[in-house]
Amino acid sequence: MILSAPFIRDERYGGYVAAIRSEYNVAAFDRGVARLIDSYRAIPPGATVRLAKKTSNLFRKRAAVTAPGLDVSGLDSVISVDPATRTAQVAGMCTYEDLVDATLAHGLAPTVVPQLKTITLGGAVTGMGIESTAFRNGLPHEAVEEIEILTGAGGLVVARPDNEYRDLFFGFPNSYGTLGYSVRLRIRLEQVKPYVELRHVRFTDLDEMQRTMATIAADHVYRGEQVDYLDGVVFSAEESYLVLGRQTDEAGPVSDYTGMRIFYRSIQHDDVDAPKRDRLTIRDYLWRWDTDWFWCSRAFGAQNPRIRRFWPKRYLRSSFYWKLIGYDHRWNVADRLNARKGLPANERVVQDIEVPIERTAEFMRWFLRDVPIEPVWLCPLTLAEPSPGDDTQPWPLYPLQRGRTYVNIGFWSAVPVTPGKPGHTNRLIEKKVSGLGGHKSLYSESFYPEDEFSALYGGEAYRLLKERYDPDGRLLRLYEKAVKQQ
């Protein structure tokens, strides 16, 4: 059960952490479920069912909504945390920021905490989330023990890996709300220590970086020191870094990247033989990328010291930058400014892809040569062991192979449009990734032909799930949602 005090103070875990009475949360959750069901019934027959939510971490354009959406108010909290079993009951619309605050009160954290504070647990499970524990813990949906889902047919089902809804349990990840919406999830947690010791290891050769990353991903050790967190940044073919984190409870000074200092710039140094060291609270480590949306805040001038000095600290976070992006999408601000300068419009290249770890350097050399975007984020992942599934590809809508290590490669910017070829660069990336035996997440724009998309994202398994859980087609199909951008 969550502690009864409204807040507790623990400097080791980054300050105030919420600890709300579980009895209140259960009642609020029950009221939220009732509103959700009522709102589903109020949507006219034939109208597409959608969430009525103001925020999103998707980069796909959405069609104008003409019917009322699902009311998810009241489904945005942690219901309870059980330190004895290291599990939490969480409403589907709860953000990771709130989830982390509640679990850190007990020295616990989700097994994988996606990088941005406003990503919801339900969103990370029905979509795809990843972070620097993925090389040892897999993906967020692999920590789910039970999930309550409002299906497209309007019923509530509780799916587990061992019950009559196991097909939905395994088919739900990467379905992006096309089979239903998560209402409640029971997830496993892991114990964490209050601080993270960092080493930033520099490389001047992509192949050497790849070999080192593969060794660390397999052994969880680098130069005799344990590695609990692993990701990396590529600035160029001659400058890349692996960022290695080790949990510790030893007290000492810590860095702060929530103000003038910028985390990704702190990684850089010149010594390939001696890693640069740093130290953060566990909470600041988990949100180290959020302050500047990795490095994307530079597009808004927020990394210019003369501007940053006057930028309100409460707006140094990804959710605010996302609002600015929303204004750009609505009014085409960047394209209009480019037109005034005589420059072409931009093609957004905002993607996360996975390739087998042994193809990382190959992909990066191609990407750095043909796509003018830097820096690039690297995050190794291996499906969790043990996992609820016993198949080599247990998650049919995102069929990564068990026992194989991949690297998530994230790049988030824009390139000049290719006249007469919408999505030209994105389509080149899709073809390259498939050719290397990889996959890409569907939170952003996609340009696959329908037959190719079906082969990559579930095919017959998805068709059967759609027939069982959304027989009347109240929800969009995955291809319609991810590629046709409705």
Q: Dihedral of the CA atoms 415, 421, 427, 431 (nearest 10)? A: -120
Those residues with Cβ within 8 angstroms of residue 351's Cβ, 6 or more apart along the chain or in another chain = 410, 411, 412, 426, 429, 440, 441, 444
Where residue 9 falls among pLDDT bands split at 50, 70, 90?
Answer: very low
Where residue 332 falls among pLDDT bands split at 50, 70, 90?
Answer: confident
C-alpha separations of 337 from 331, 334, 340, 341, 349 in Å: 11, 5, 5, 7, 19
What is the phi/psi pair of residue 298, to 5°? -65, -25
C-alpha separations of 119 from 7, 130, 480 in Å: 23, 11, 23
**Residue 111 confidence (pLDDT) above 50:** yes
- Give the pLDDT of residue 390: 63
Residue type for position 192: V
Q: pLDDT for 199-237, tens place per residue?
A: 999 999 999 999 999 999 999 999 999 999 999 999 999
What is the phi/psi pair of residue 244, to 5°? -110, 130
* Domain-wise residue ranges, the chain: 7-191
Q: Are 53 and 203 in contact (CB under 8 A)?
A: no
What is the pLDDT averaged over residues 168-182? 96
Question: Which helix (H) or strand (E) is 197 found in, with range?
Answer: strand 195-203
What is the pLDDT averaged over residues 406-423? 95
Q: Comparing C-alpha atoms, which of 9, 37, 3 is closest to residue 22?
A: 3
Where residue 48 falls among pLDDT bands split at 50, 70, 90?
Answer: confident
**Residue 361 confidence (pLDDT) above 50:** yes
- Give the pLDDT of residue 421: 92
C-alpha separations of 230 from 129, 135, 182, 219, 234 in Å: 15, 7, 29, 12, 14
Q: Are 134 and 140 in contact (CB under 8 A)?
A: no
Those residues with Cβ within 8 angstroms of residue 452's Cβ, 6 or more apart along the chain or in another chain = 434
Q: By mean pLDDT, which of 10-14, 30-34, 162-166, 177-181 is the weakest?
A: 10-14
Q: Where are the alpha helices (DSSP H) in 197-316?
A: 206-219, 263-266, 282-286, 305-308
Q: By mean pLDDT, which of 31-35, 390-394, 410-414 is the weakest?
A: 390-394
**Residue 16 confidence (pLDDT) above 70:** no
The residue whose two tokens read 């040569």 is: 369
**Residue 24 confidence (pLDDT) above 70:** no
Where residue 66 falls among pLDDT bands split at 50, 70, 90?
Answer: low
d(CA 85, CA 443): 33
Q: Are 135 and 406 in contact (CB under 8 A)?
A: no
**Residue 448 confidence (pLDDT) above 60:** yes
Q: Which token pair is 203?
A: 């490389």
- Give the pLDDT of residue 270: 97
- Give the pLDDT of residue 46: 84
**What fold does the segment set 7-191 form as a domain?**
3.30.465
Angle between helices 360-370 and 424-435 (to 10 degrees): 160
d(CA 474, CA 153): 7
d(CA 253, CA 277): 12
The residue whose two tokens read 């990840």 is: 173
- Give the pLDDT of residue 340: 83
Beta bridge partners of 182: 149
Where residue 19 falls among pLDDT bands split at 50, 70, 90?
Answer: very low
What is the phi/psi pair of residue 167, to 5°? -65, -40
Q: Are 216 and 232 in contact (CB under 8 A)?
A: no
Where residue 56 falls among pLDDT bands split at 50, 70, 90?
Answer: low
